[in-house]
Amino acid sequence: MGQLWEFLSFAEPNIRYVTFGSILLCSSAAVVGSFIFLKKKALVGDAVAHSVLPGVCLGFILAGNKNPILLIAGAFVTGWLSLVTIDYISARSKIKEDTAIGLILSVFFGIGILLLTYIQHSGNAAQSGLDHFLFGKAAAMVSDDVNIFGGMAFVLIIAVALLFKEFTLISFDVDFAKTIGFPVKGLELVLTTLTVFAIVAGIQAIGVVLMAAILITPAAAARFWTNNLRKMIFLAAAFGGFSGLAGAYISYIAPAMPTGPWIVMVISVIAFFSFFFAPQKGIVMKLISRRAMAHQIQEENVLKLLFQLGQEDKNYFQQRSVGDIQARRPFNTKLLLSALERLKKQGFLEKGDDRWQFTQAGQKKGARMVKLHRLWEVYLTRYLRIAPDHVHEDAETIEHIITPDLEAKLEKLLEYPVKDPHESDIPYL
């Protein structure tokens, strides 16, 4: 705990630099990455990230030391070249895009590794720390680096803010953008350039190998929380920034650990949490709402059945046992009992001596279910020309989903029929 306070107090100027640098880098990458995600180019981002390695090495070979400007320039050139090559190969041959991405990614990275090992074996003392570009080392940033990389991140955020509308459009519908006279090629070029920029800026903190994650994962996570693009980008930036902060902290307390994998771990945990638990879109939330739907269907079926029995006996408020209900329709006993209990809680049923009976509200709702079922049967026979003996199954499903609005439309369209196709009465209230 002491370490955390020491870290958060930013007493050491170096911690301050590194922390703000990492946050800025990760959040700016997440902002640009949001557009890459929306353009469905996540894997291209991965390829570019790997492809900056040979550029960094060439920059080093040219400079003879770790001159940040030359390293960045080198990274920029090869990162950019990889994008152009991927497009060129998939446009000019029968090689498909995914193959071109994998090819360029691995070959460029291979060349990078070859150059890196060559430099390492060449005995140049200045090379130590060059391998930090592979997996990132936020703590190794010195104030000059932070100024340069942080400055780049700042430029990125400003550029995206200025071109927000344009990027949104080219991510959503390129053809439309063309027809309204947007300089689509130019804009794509700017977005690509910014992407390479973001990757180059991020390699100090995350490294080339896992850089793609910080571009894509925050956007993918944010997408699960909102349908609003602005909110999504802010959220992605916040997720990215938080993982940058966490990465810087881990770099501080555990110097042996590379920063990149930890940043990716933090952002991945956020992402998987979002995939499963985000309201509405999350996988678990979907399962829960599906369960609620299943409950609703069981309840409505029970009410409908009680109403039908009442209609036959001409007594809607007779008490009935579980056996009575099951004699008509073989519900699973456990499911039936829990549905009955829920209906009691909702005030549709009353219970006495293990026997159940309608309340006024319950009888009304049961009547509505029977009406919907029979109306739908009429609709199917009249409008879909389905034989009367074939309509029951479908009505069993649809009756649960018809809203009051649709109910009114259905009644009007069918002109309030009194009998269903099997000559049973349709109950109106």
Partner 1 sequence: MDAFWIILTGSFVSISCGLLGSYLILRRMAMVGDAISHAVLPGIVIAFLISGQRDSITMLIGAGVLGVLTTFLIEFLHKRGNLQTDASIGVTFTWLFALGIILISAYAGQVDLDQDCVLHGEIAYVPIDLWITSTGKIIGPRAVFITGSVLIIIISFIIIGYKELFLTTFDPAFAAAIDISTAMWHYLLMGAVSLATVASFESVGAILVVALLIAPPATAYLLTEKFLFMLILTAFLGIFISVTGYYLAVSIDGSIAGAMSTIAGLLFALAFLFSPKEGIIITWLKNRIIKKELSESF
Partner 2 sequence: MIQQVEDPAVEVHDLTVTYHKKPVLWDIDLTLPRGAIIGIIGPNGAGKSTLIKSMMNLIPHSSGYVRIFDSNIDEVRPQVSYVPQKESVDWDFPASVMDVVLMGRYARLGLFKRPRKADREVALDCLKKVGMEAYKSRQIAQLSGGQQQRVFLARALAQEAEIYFMDEPFAGVDAATEKAIIGLLREMSEKGKTVVVIHHDIQSALEYFNWIVLLNMRLVASGPTQETLIPSLLEETYGGKLTLLAEVGNLMHKKEFTGRDKR
| Three-state DSSP state, 82 | helix
Q: Which of 107, 106, 47 is nearest to 79 (CA)?
A: 47
State which residue, 254 or 401, has the beta carbon closest to partner 2. Answer: 401
Find out whether 26 and 251 touch, Cβ atoms under 8 Å.
no
261 binds, among partner 1, partner 2, none (CB under 5 to 8 A by kind): partner 1
- Alpha-carbon distance 88 to 83, whole Å? 9
Spatial CB neighbours of 37, under 8 Å, sequence gap ≥ 6: 215, 216, 219, 220, 223
Residue 394 contacts partner 2 per CB under 8 A: yes
* Contacts of partner 1 in 133-152 (CB under 8 A): 134-135
Q: Which two structure tokens, joined as six digits, stand for 287?
A: 């399962």
Contact set for partner 2, span 67-86 (CB under 8 A): none
Find the binder of partner 2 among 391, 420, 421, 426 (CB under 8 A). 391
Q: Which CB sits closer to partner 2, 62 or 283?
A: 283
Residue 233 CB, nearest approach to partner 1 (Å) = 15
| Interatomic CA distance for residues 405 and 410, integer angstroms | 9
- Residue 64 region, left (φ>0) first, then alpha (ψ -120 to 50), else beta? left
C-alpha distance from residue 238 to each of 37, 163, 183 (Å): 16, 20, 31
For residue 328, state whether it binds partner 2 (rule: CB under 8 A).
Answer: no
φ and ψ at residue 419, rounded to 5 degrees: -120, 145
* Residue 184, both tokens: 């689509």
Please report which residue ranges of 93-142 form alpha helices under DSSP H.
97-121, 132-135
User: In the bound complex, what is the minimum distance in angstroms from residue 420's beta carbon to partner 2?
Assistant: 16
Backbone angles phi, psi at 278, to 5 degrees: -60, 140
Assess contact for 320 and 349: CB atoms under 8 A.
no
Touching partner 2, residues 281-310 (CB under 8 A):
286, 289-290, 293-294, 297-298, 301
Of residues 255-284, those binding partner 1 (CB under 8 A): 256-258, 260-262, 264-265, 268, 271-272, 275, 281-283
Q: Which is nearer to partner 1, 180 or 256 (CB)?
A: 256
Residue 112 contacts which entry, partner 1, partner 2, none (Cβ below 5-8 A, type-dependent): partner 1
- The DSSP letter of residue 278 is S
Residue 74 as a binder of partner 1 (CB under 8 A): the answer is no
User: Is the Cβ of residue 286 or residue 419 nearer to partner 2 in the bound state?
Assistant: 286
Q: Should residue 61 be labelled a site residue for partner 1 when binding is judged by CB under 8 A?
A: no
**393-to-12, 35, 292, 396 alpha-carbon distances in Å:** 72, 46, 21, 5
Q: Does 222 sit near partner 1 (CB under 8 A)?
A: no
Binding of residue 390 to partner 2 (CB under 8 A): yes
Would you say the C-alpha torsion 103, 104, 108, 113 has a positive or negative sign? negative
Structure token digits, residue 117: 């090992």
Asked if 213 interacts with partner 1 (CB under 8 A), we say: yes
* Residue 391 binds which entry of partner 1, partner 2, none, CB below 5-8 Å type-dependent: partner 2
Angstrom distance (rounded) from CA 244 to CA 234? 15
Bridge partners for 350 per DSSP: 357
- The item of partner 1, partner 2, none sharing an interface with residue 162, based on CB under 5 to 8 Å by kind, is none
Instruction: Show the site string, 76-115: x = touches partner 1 by CB under 8 A, - = not.
Output: -------------x--xxxxx-xx-xxx-xxxxxxxxxxx
Q: By the criterion CB under 8 A, which residues form the site for partner 1? A: 37, 40-43, 45-46, 50, 89, 92-96, 98-99, 101-103, 105-118, 121-122, 131, 134-135, 209-210, 212-213, 216-217, 219-220, 223-224, 256-258, 260-262, 264-265, 268, 271-272, 275, 281-283, 286
Q: By the criterion CB under 8 A, which residues form the site for partner 2? A: 94, 286, 289-290, 293-294, 297-298, 301, 329-332, 379-380, 383-387, 390-391, 393-394, 396-398, 400-403, 406, 409-410, 413
